[in-house]
Structure 1
Amino acid sequence: MNPSLPLSGLRVLDLSRVLAGPLAAQVLGDLGADVVKVEHPARGDDTRDWGVRTGAHNSAYFNSMNRNKRSITLDLQQPEGQRLARELALKSDVVIQNFKFGGTAKMGLDYDTLAASHPGLVYCSITGYDPTGPEAARPGYDLVVQGETGLMGLNGEEGQAPLKFGVAMVDLFTGMSAGQAILAALWARERNGGRGRHVQLALHDCGIMLSVYYGMEALIEQLDPPKYGNAHPSIVPYGVFDASDGPLVVTVGNNAQFQRFCRDVIERPELADDPRYATNAARAIHRHDLLPILKAELARRPRAELLNALARAGIPCGEVLGVLQALTSPRTQAAGGVQQATLADGTPVPVQAPPYRFEGQRLPIRHAPPTLGQHTTEVLAGLGVDAAALDRLRASGVI
């Protein structure tokens, strides 16, 4: 236990799998909580088998959502596995689960059952849809929800077919939102005599929230907003442009910046004086006339030259990097954004570091992503399960 970490001493039981739930638990683990992840003895979390493998039972996908956790294995379809999970839940401050609707009740791991014996429990359920509505039992998948919430309709270039985000944005947003809600419930517990809460998150709700200002515009205009791709719907020029040797981001945020952009960066002062482009409102109206001119000017110049000129002019800008370039860039390395760890089986792996800093210090990676069942013995020993009982549980497939 590190007493300097914000959630040091908090105990979390992670019964979730795949992405949204594991991310919520990882957030708490990053902040110092002791997170125990429960996995199936044979297959573990589904994501152990997704994508690039790292070691015998880990994958890049799994590792990205399960740092700062301990892993135990329990077969929750067996009564003995359910009993041990209940014992762990009753010793925890937080339980996180994303089972199919009604699944936890069959195992005696639902909120009502646990809270009857542990009223201070903060219990987080993540579902696909409104748990009180007609689709409560319908499973939730990020890609499906991206389609149903209009997000795929927003993404991409004008005239392009619906396009998903590059990462599972709905799952990620739901996981981060769940982490926030759990922290709020823990704070409320401190003020209301120690009583816990049942926190509920639905992927569809979070997907709707992700439409933000585009969603507000659609409701006001009663129309689907147009697609702008890498451009901005109301600021011009603002987006990704090609220099002669690679792409860059240019964000001309106000009229004074546009004046400097035209005079000092692309050396076309007449554009700054043209009434069609003098204000941002005018530039937005005439974007289809202006942007081809600006793209041609930028394409004639090397990226480094443009970045230097833009910086001197006080215009926000930056390179467009590939994922590997970004992760291995001097900026990321200097900030400690990627660190090296070693799995319990000896496999060296890169691990993305928690983004949180307190008093200027990035929070540590206390536990590398766990191998399957790495901590089963030590965690169950905390329940009083001795070596003979562990052997019996292994022989019966409970762990």
Structure 2
Amino acid sequence: MEALEGLKVLDLSRTLAGPFCTMLLGDMGADIIKVEKPGTGDETRRFTPPKWDGISAYYLASNRNKRSITIDMKSEEGKQLIYKMAKESDVFIENFRTGAMEKMGLGYEQLKKLNPRLIYCSISGFGRTGPEKNRAGYDLLLQGYGGLMSITGETGGSPVKTGMSLVDLTMGIFAAYGILTAVIARGKTGKGQFIDASLLDGQVSLLNFLVTSYFATGKPAGRMGSAHPTIVPYQAFSAKDMDIILAVPNDGLWAKCCQALNWEDLLTDPRFKTNEDRVTHRHELVYFISKRLSLLESKEIFACLDAAGVPCGPIHTIDQVVNHPHVLSREMILEVEHPIVKNLKMAGFPIKLSDTPASLKRHPPLLGEHTEEILSELGLFADDIEQLKQKHIVGEYKDFKSSI
């Protein structure tokens, strides 16, 4: 049994936040029907390089456990197909610009008349209300607009984006959280509802303690490199052979750290007695620690601190992470059978449920791979499907080239 078995999701989203959300739902057993534009599909199919056996790695990463159907949603007959699927779906998800779905006759108020139990999730850059609701929203834009880049980078340096699409990916998680919350609510009320999921709202939420700290002090946080605004030492340092992380979040661990590394002078120095003291005298302490760690091999540092129970570790590169014995033991790298891509591997399931675990059921679909299958489930016969193909209402799944 899978936790979300029986939950049908009609997915009109593209790019990353929406597809990542529906992949998470699909991993837990939901039936994800990915609706794409005939001929081109989700634009991430063309996000290259890199390609893997001719297919975009970007697309492959967020689209497992889905079925793909291609429909011309601007045509009246295509719209009728969407209506028919929406009537039988539990969840509808889209990430078009504000007002676009309503113009096509596919807005929430229009679809809930067909299916009052429908949960409609709308992902956008700035939300569906407010003065900026019509602005386009992309991860990079929101990393800047939402404050993330103002706190990312070295002190005195230029703003820096995170190395991954943090805004999009976290919104995918938030959207899945919202959808499942609405599913639970529907079990109590019998009614669906509208979910307004904004990339900006998600980013403001992630600012978390920095928001409260600003209102407490009147001062916005700035860029601090790898350092932490309220904990010291809690940052990257350079050992003799490599960069490492030293994370000492409380006074008890500070004492253990100093004892393990024979830093009795630092432990007894009144400037560094408490974390508040260490934050006040951050620059002096970081100078002392940096100088001392730079004389030691990382293995020596880790051996001493690991034995004392002090959090520390290397700064891994991506290749080191995905081949790490612990990551592999946690089954965080999946090997996926794919009709085109040989030895496809991707990041695994981040949540481990004891009784209803996530599972891999489907490879990232080729464009329109399941069009006939899905239309047949809607009750259309082979002749009906052929007519839709001839009218270009639905795309015809042919071969590998049609999926790129």
TM-score range, shorter chain: over 0.9
User: Alpha-carbon deviation of 1:330?
Assistant: 0.8
Q: 1:221 aligns with which of 198, 217, 220?
A: 217
Which protein, 1 or 2, shows the higher relative CO under an 8 Å CA cutoff with sep ≥ 6? 2
User: Alpha-carbon deviation of 1:224?
Assistant: 1.7
Report the equivalent of 1:248.
244
Letter in 1 for 2:337: T
Residues of 2 paired with 1:122 and 1:22: CA distance? Answer: 17
Letter in 1 for 2:284: D
Residues of 2 paired with 1:220 and 1:346: CA distance? Answer: 53
* Aligned residues of 1:41 and 1:73 also touching (Cα < 8 A): yes
* Aligned residues of 1:353 and 1:365 also touching (Cα < 8 A): no
Cα shift readout 1:52-78 (whole Å, capped 9, x = no counterpart): 22244x322112211111111112122
1:335 aligns with 2:322: no
* Aligned residues of 1:86 and 1:108 also touching (Cα < 8 A): no
1:374 aligns with 2:366: no
Residues of 1 paired with 2:119 and 2:16: CA distance? Answer: 20
Residues of 2 paired with 1:292 and 1:163: CA distance? Answer: 24
Report the equivalent of 2:195.
199
User: Alpha-carbon deviation of 1:31?
Assistant: 1.3
Q: Cα RMSD over matched residues?
A: 1.6
Residues of 2 paired with 1:251 and 1:53: CA distance? Answer: 38
Residues of 1 paired with 2:82 and 2:221: CA distance? Answer: 48
Indicate the SS of the match to 1:276: helix
User: Alpha-carbon deviation of 1:392?
Assistant: 2.4
Report the equivalent of 1:113.
110
Indicate the SS of the match to 2:272: coil
Residues of 1 paired with 2:59 and 2:336: CA distance? Answer: 14
User: Alpha-carbon deviation of 1:185?
Assistant: 0.8
Report the equivalent of 1:53.
51
Cα shift readout 1:259-315 (whole Å, capped 9, x = no counterpart): 3322322x2321211111222211111111121221121111111221111011110
1:324 aligns with 2:319: yes
User: Alpha-carbon deviation of 1:42?
Assistant: 1.1
Indicate the SS of the match to 1:239: strand
Q: 2:23 aligns with which of 14, 23, 26?
A: 26
TM-score of the aligned structures, taking structure 1 as reference length:
0.94
1:394 aligns with 2:389: yes
User: Alpha-carbon deviation of 1:323?
Assistant: 1.1
Residues of 2 paired with 1:281 and 1:133: CA distance? Answer: 40
Residues of 1 paired with 2:357 and 2:26: CA distance? Answer: 14
Indicate the SS of the match to 1:131: coil
Residues of 1 paired with 2:129 and 2:148: CA distance? Answer: 24
Letter in 1 for 2:263: R
User: Alpha-carbon deviation of 1:10?
Assistant: 0.7
Indicate the SS of the match to 1:364: coil
Indicate the SS of the match to 1:295: helix
Letter in 2 for 1:258: W
Indicate the SS of the match to 1:36: strand
Residues of 2 paired with 1:100 and 1:274: CA distance? Answer: 58
Residues of 2 paired with 1:252 and 1:282: CA distance? Answer: 14
Cα shift readout 1:311-357 (whole Å, capped 9, x = no counterpart): 11110112210012101111111111001112233543112212121
TM-score of the aligned structures, taking structure 2 as reference length:
0.93
Letter in 2 for 1:323: I
Letter in 1 for 2:304: A
Check 1:360–1:275 CA distance in 2 against 1; reply closer, same or farther (3 A cut).
farther
Check 1:262–1:346 CA distance in 2 against 1; reply closer, same or farther (3 A cut).
closer
Report the equivalent of 1:13.
10
1:141 aligns with 2:141: no
* Aligned residues of 2:27 and 2:349 also touching (Cα < 8 A): yes
Indicate the SS of the match to 2:192: coil
1:237 aligns with 2:242: no
Residues of 1 paired with 2:284 and 2:235: CA distance? Answer: 16
* Aligned residues of 1:123 and 1:198 also touching (Cα < 8 A): yes
Q: 2:78 aligns with which of 77, 81, 85?
A: 81
Letter in 2 for 1:331: H
Indicate the SS of the match to 1:357: coil
Residues of 2 paired with 1:302 and 1:385: CA distance? Answer: 68
Residues of 2 paired with 1:227 and 1:136: CA distance? Answer: 29
Segments of structure 2 that go 5 or more residues without pairing to the other structure are 396-404
Q: How many residues align?
A: 393
Letter in 1 for 2:146: T
Residues of 2 paired with 1:361 and 1:308: CA distance? Answer: 38
Indicate the SS of the match to 1:179: helix
Report the equivalent of 2:128.
131
Residues of 2 paired with 1:269 and 1:132: CA distance? Answer: 58
Residues of 2 paired with 1:67 and 1:203: CA distance? Answer: 23
Report the equivalent of 1:353.
348
